[in-house]
Structure 1
Amino acid sequence: MWAGNVWRASLFGVPCRRPAQSALAQLRGILEAEMEGIREAGNWKSERVIMSRQGPHIHVGGVSGGILNFCANNYLGLSSHPEVIQAGLQALEEFGAGLSSVRFICGTQSVHKNLEAKIARFHQREDAILCPSCFDANAGLFEALLTPEDAVLSDELNHASIIDGIRLCKANKYRYGHLDMADLEAKLQEAQKHRLRLVATDGAFSMDGDIAPLQEICHLTSRYGALVFVDE
């Protein structure tokens, strides 16, 4: 019988000590060694605690005076915009703090549907779906669209969210050279045996600043009967 996650019954019914503590000690030793290796390689990242609103100028704990912030995604300054803050306060008053459930069960509210309708109209599409983050959107897309009968062709420098999403799906996977249209065409020819072919690319590759040649990609996919997914 189990008792406090320590004891277990042996094959002959005689209680024996479960080596839980030694296993935890072993795990701790492994993790400490890995963390030390990260430190020695110069890859250790410590948190910088922001003591102010997000913006181009922020106050960080342990640093006197303000510093410039070049690493946030707050390109338009909307996170601290007075109208956005006021809208957030109004939403808190009307809908409360949090959904209390995932959208699929009982977490869909009128604000979601209204925003999705506006986004769909803006992009001239039938509908739109809100996701908690861009990463989640890419992580969930490919598994929903593709099966083992299909193929996905991915630029080798696509964002990590695209790569993770492709890994989660069961489609056949092809990787073509970064912005290499000749290689993409060769992979499209190789993938013709599959039911659907989907070419996945960033529109703007944020780490390198490259822009995908969408006209050429669409020309190739049209020639070979494939679909195009662009992460913007």
Structure 2
Amino acid sequence: MHILLIEDDPFIARAVTAALESEAHTVTYAPSGKDAFAALAVRLPDAVLLDLGLPGIDGIDVLKSIRAMPAPASNLPVIIVTAREALESRLEGLDAGADDYLLKPFHMSELLARLRAVVRRKGPLAGDVLRAGHIALNTVTHTCTVGSDAVTLSKREYALLAALLVRPGAILSRRALEEKLYAPGDEPESNAIEYLIHALRKKIGAESIENIRGLGWRIKADR
């Protein structure tokens, strides 16, 4: 999924972005309401994570503006993520159109679960399934099928396959894959990517992932 993260605290934004990207989501970061509106004008995300204490335009006003936009923008799943714990704030956020309300501090596993839940409730999105030939990867349920067969992937196998399927035919270097699979500060072993690709090929087919010597790996667009 493509997530718009509207959060003015750079420390929280970095942590949430790293966690989302480790689950193979893409993130657009907006530190203010003004930046959020600019991002929405360029590309609609699959969901929005919205802080309330934003500079300039308060988060509630950002939410009201989103809900006042023409469809499909007005129907975007929005989760408020804030330190405002008063009942009045929660009611105000939900009445303004939030799909969920999560208090800081929170555990990333809970945020991810709530994100999946609100997206499911809103209905299927065009970008939910990544495909290349007979391979299909659902980015909401994290399920993979090869032809008619279901394939069970580990967390990092899923992230690796998702990274390759976002742009079939595009070559991703070792460095690019490491940045998508590992959080900042993690030090993967030198052969970690090769090991994951070997394991993934055994599950989805040996010819599915092509090695371009000296450049990286890709999934052929015409598979």
TM-score range, shorter-chain basis?
under 0.3
TM-score (norm 1): 0.26
The answer to which structure, 1 or 2, has the higher relative contact order (CA under 8 A, 6+ apart) is 2
Structure whose CA Rg is larger: 1
